[in-house]
Amino acid sequence: MSVIYEKVALIGLGLIASSMFWASKRGGLAREISGFARSEATRDTARRIGLCDVVSDSVIEAVKDADLVVLCVPVGVMGAVAQEIAPHLKPGCTVSDVGSVKGAVVEAVAPHLPKDVHFVPGHPLAGTEHSGPESGFATLFDDRWCLLVPPDGTDPDAVAKLRRFWEALGANVEEMDPEHHDLVLAVTSHTPHLIAYTMVGVADDLGRVTDSEVIKYSAAGFRDFTRIAASDPTMWRDVFLNNKQATLEILGRFTEELFALQRAIRTGDGDELFDYFTRTRAIRRGIIEAGQDTDAPDFGRVKAKH
C-alpha cells in the first residue's frame, strides 16, 4: 500500500474508470474509491463485479469528501457534470478528467469550479475497442502515456500529486498545453479513427461486395480498421465535435496527400508510390523501438513459429 489520495471519486464507469479502479487497487493508491454512473444498469453491473468500494446513486454523494475527482464521462457532458458537482467538492481537492480532447474540456469545466479546487485535466492514451464497466483491467495503463494539461498558475503540488498517481497506475506522464495536445491527438488518434470509420462504412455500403465477403476476407488489412471503428460511438462523436479545428486541419492534409497518391495510381507513377511506401516503413520501426507496440507479426495474433 502506498496511498496517494485518501478518497478518489470516479464519475462515469466505463473502460477508463474501471481500469483506473483495478490499477489503483493493484497499487493500493487510495483508501476508498467511490463511483457513480448515470445509468442504473451500469451501477448494478459495477456493484455485481465489485467495481468501486462504494457505488453511489447520486453524483453528489460520490464526490463528497473526495480528494481526487476524475470525470470519466463523454467530453460533451463534462461541463454539465462539473456544474452539478461544483458546490459539493471538498475544498483543496483536485478535479481531473480523462477526455480525449483538452481545449474544449478546459473551456467547459473550468468556469464552474470553485477557486479553492485544483483543476488538472488529463488524458491517458490507452484504451481498447471495448467499452463499459466490465471492459476495464488493471494493466491498461502500464507503459502507456498520460498527458496532463494544467492551466497556467495551477498549484504545482497538486499537479505533482496527480502525476505520482498516474505513474503508480502504470503510466508515463508528460505535460503540455491543451492546444498542442489537441493537434497531436488529431494526428495520432482522431483523424485515424475517422478514416477507419469511413472505410468501414464504405465497405458496408457496397452492394456488389456482399457483407459476408467483406467479413470473410477481412484479414487482408480491413479488419484492423474495423477494430478501430468498433470504439464507443458517443465518445467519438464528442471527440470530433470538440476537436473540430485540429481534426479538420489534419483531414485537409490527409485528402491532399491521398489525392496525390491517387493521381500516381491513375498515371501509373510507380516510383512515387514506391518512395512513399518506403518512407512510411521507418515510422513503424520508430514505434516499435519506443516500446509502443509489439514487433510480433500481425500484433502477435499469429501464435506459432515453425
1-40 binders of its own copies (CB under 8 A): 22, 25-26
Least separation in angstroms between CB 93 and its own copies: 27
Nearer to its own copies, 155 or 224 (CB): 224
Site for its own copies (CB under 8 A): how many residues?
A: 118
Nearer to its own copies, 64 or 130 (CB): 130
Nearer to its own copies, 87 or 286 (CB): 286
Q: Is 107 in the site for its own copies (CB under 8 A)?
A: no
Instruction: Select from 53, 135, 164, 167 the one that contacts its own copies (CB under 8 A).
Output: 135
Least separation in angstroms between CB 155 and its own copies: 26
Looking only at residues 267 through 306 of this chain, which bind its own copies when binding is defined by CB under 8 A? 268, 270, 273-274, 276-281, 283-287, 290, 292-294, 297-306
Least separation in angstroms between CB 85 and its own copies: 24
Per-residue binder mask for its own copies (CB under 8 A), 64-93, x = binder: ------------x-----------------
C-alpha cell at 201: 462504412
Per-residue binder mask for its own copies (CB under 8 A), 226-255, x = binder: xxxxxx-xx-xxx-xx--x--xx-xx-xxx
Looking only at residues 143 through 162 of this chain, which bind its own copies when binding is defined by CB under 8 A? 144-145, 147
Q: Using CA atoms, how far apart are residues 260 and 97, in angstroms rounded to an integer?
A: 40
C-alpha cell at 98: 480523462
